[in-house]
Amino acid sequence: MKYMSEYRDPELAKKYLEEIKNTVSRPWSIMEVCGGQTHSLVKNGIIEMLPDKVTMIHGPGCPVCVTPLNLIDKAVYLAVEKGVILCSFGDMLRVPGSQKSLLEAKAEGADVRILYSPLEAVKIAEDNPHKEVVFFAVGFETTAPANALSVVHAHRRGVKNYSILASHVLVPPAIKAVIDDEESKIDGFLAAGHVCTIMGNTEYHPLSAAYKVPIVVTGFEPLDVLQGILMVIRQLEQSKSEVENQYARIVREEGNPDAQKVIDEVFEVRNQMWRGIGEIPESGYAVREKYADFDATKKYNVTIEEAPENPDCISGQIMKGIKKPFECSQFGKTCKPTNPLGAPMVSSEGACAAYYHFSGLVEA
């Protein structure tokens, strides 16, 4: 219980843990899909506090981690060879490409900028009319509306020198791919709360019914995650498979229709490559033809050969829940946040980085 003092309400956390212990009668494996939840579970020591019968499996819930190597190479090429102002979120800059990361490209003189919001990139384009600005638009459904909105803003404001390199990933098809993978043995899922803030819960009902798995939409604070785990276990123990909403204070059944409208205006669903996992059908967003002028893939028509992944990195198995970070022979040795072999060690939401920083398995 060494981390208990970090809880805002340790008494309530203890009650949840007690209730989980009293409810669970046999071993269950639960996957938390969201990287923020992985972070919360590891950082707060929840994994050690759970009964042995409950195994938490860390899912592919970090968009930075699953962005294909080839797209990072394209972003580096645009910044270095095409001389564009390349903008993205901070985590994305450190992810290794086949030759270098965007941060290394920046150190060598490319104009690479970290932004808080894609909307800032449109401003940068307006302020630099003689330069091309590309936003490397990664993210789950939570981030897709903001990325789409940047395109809508640029269009409305007549900005011609702005485009996005889109790498969006969608959660429900990923859950389906994980269940379909014969090596993954997951009994229930914690779905990502902020994704559902946008998309609502409706997409999960057919999944839960078809595969007979409980899916609980869950927030990311320690008490949220504990309550989500308890809700999944209660269902499993009663042989139920329903969609429940632990995060009802934020997530509405129908999600945010205005956000969905913006996504639909700019993007269409396509098959998407996931780094370490492979192609998942209908699991990404491409920019619609109507906005082709804002699609960096079409605007620059960059062809870069697919480079092989580092053979020592088992990030695919980690993101599908087949292996834990500490089961990797490179973990904490050749692979560290300062020198990551694969993306889950880069992003603060990656499973490997969470274990590296907070599990106590590595001497910092």
Partner 1 sequence: MCLAIPGKIKSIEIQYGGMVRMAKVSFGGITKEASLEMLPDADVDDYVLVHVGVAISKVNEEEAQKTFKYLEEIGELGELEDVDEYLPKSE
Per rule CB under 8 A, is residue 259 in the interface with partner 1? yes
Taking the complex as a whole, the smallest distance from the CB of residue 192 to partner 1 amounts, in Å, to 7
Among 45, 59, 97, 145, which residue interacts with partner 1 (rule: CB under 8 A)?
145
Per rule CB under 8 A, is residue 89 in the interface with partner 1? yes
* Runs of H (alpha helix) within the chain: 10-23, 35-43, 46-49, 63-66, 69-80, 90-93, 102-107, 118-127, 144-156, 171-180, 193-199, 204-211, 222-237, 257-266, 296-300, 315-319, 351-358
Q: How many residues bind partner 1 (CB under 8 A)?
A: 51
Q: Provide the mask over 184-223, with x wherever binding to partner 1 is found by CB under 8 A and - wherever it is not.
A: --------x-x--xx---------------------xx--
Question: Tokens representing 222?
Answer: 């320690």
Cβ–Cβ < 8 Å for 198, 260: yes
Per rule CB under 8 A, is residue 103 in the interface with partner 1? no
What angle is formed at CA 166 by the lines to CA 162 and CA 167, rounded to 5 degrees?
A: 155
Among 14, 15, 21, 43, which residue interacts with partner 1 (rule: CB under 8 A)?
43
Per rule CB under 8 A, is residue 79 in the interface with partner 1? no
Per CB under 8 A, which region of 69-77, 140-148, 270-278, 305-313 contacts partner 1? Answer: 140-148
Nearer to partner 1, 100 or 194 (CB): 194
SS3 31: strand
Tell me the backbone φ, ψ of residue 165, rounded to 5 degrees: -100, 100
Residue bearing tokens 């707060």: 44
For the four alpha carbons of 45, 50, 53 and 56, in that order, the dihedral sign comes to negative
Per rule CB under 8 A, is residue 159 in the interface with partner 1? no
Contact set with partner 1 (CB under 8 A)? 6, 8, 34-36, 43, 61-64, 89-91, 113-120, 123-124, 127, 138-140, 142-143, 145-146, 149, 152-153, 156-157, 192, 194, 197-198, 220-221, 249-251, 256, 258-259, 262, 347, 349
